[in-house]
A = this chain, B = another copy of it.
Amino acid sequence: MSGVKLLGINGSPASRRVEWALKIKGVEYEFIEEDLQNKSQLLLESNPVYKKIPVLLHNGKPIAESLVIIEYIDEVFEGPCILPKDPYDRAIARFWAKFLDEKLPAVWKALWSQGEEQEEDKKEAYEVLKVLDNELKDKKFFGGDGIGFVDIAANFVGFWIGIVEEATGVVLVTSEKFPNFCAWRNKYLNCDQVKENMPSREMLLGYFKSRVQAVANGPK
C-alpha cells in the first residue's frame, strides 16, 4: 500500500481535485468520507486550523488545502506531471489556481442570493467569468492542449456550476456572454478524465434541489 488516506466528501469540488491528482499519478489510496455534522477526531487533529476537508494523510503525516495537497502529490509521486515543468508556466498556473480559489465564492454566492442582492452578486460573478473567458481565448484547456493543474482547480466552474444552475434556476453562464468559457466547458465535460473524476450528476442535482427547497421553506 502507498500509505495514503484522503479525508473528504464525495460531492465536494475540493475533495475531487485531490482524488483527480491521485488518479493521474496512479496512487492507491483509502478514501474516508467525512460527516461534516459530526467531524471525525482524525479530521479535527489533522487540520486543527480549519477543521475542513480535504486532508491528505501520507504515512500518517497530514496536509490540508487542496491546491497545496496537489502540489505535494505532484512532487512526491511518479507519473505524469500535473503542474507544468517550465518555471514560468508553473508560476502562471499557480496564479490562475489562486484566482479560482479566491473568486469562486463570488460565483457560488450569485447562484444562491435573491432580489437586489443577487443583482449585485451577479455583476461580480460575471466579472470572474469574463476574466476566465478571456484567458481561454485561443486555448483548448487552461493547461494548453491537455488538462492540467488549473483545469483540475477549475472543476467547480467546469462541472458543479451547471448543476447548481439547473437546481436554482439561476443561469450565469451562456455561450453568448462567455463563448470561450463555454467551448472549454464542452471539451471539459466530454473528456474521459473529467467523466472518471466527477461525482454523480443526479446525486448532486438531487442534493442541490433539496437545498433550494430548504431555502424556500425558510428557517423553522
Residues of A within 8 A of B (CB): 49, 58, 61, 63-65, 68-69, 71-72, 75-76, 87-88, 90-92, 94-95, 98-99, 131
Select A63's contact among B64, B65, B72, B88, beta carbons within 8 Å: B88
B49 adjacent to A61 (CB under 8 Å): no
Known: A49-B131, A131-B49. Is A72-B87 also a contact (CB below 8 A)?
A: yes
19 examples of A-B residue contacts, CB within 8 angstroms: A49-B99, A58-B88, A63-B91, A63-B92, A63-B95, A64-B95, A65-B94, A65-B95, A68-B91, A68-B94, A69-B91, A71-B90, A72-B87, A72-B88, A72-B90, A72-B91, A75-B87, A75-B90, A76-B87
Contacts of A88 in B (CB 8 A): 58, 61, 63, 72
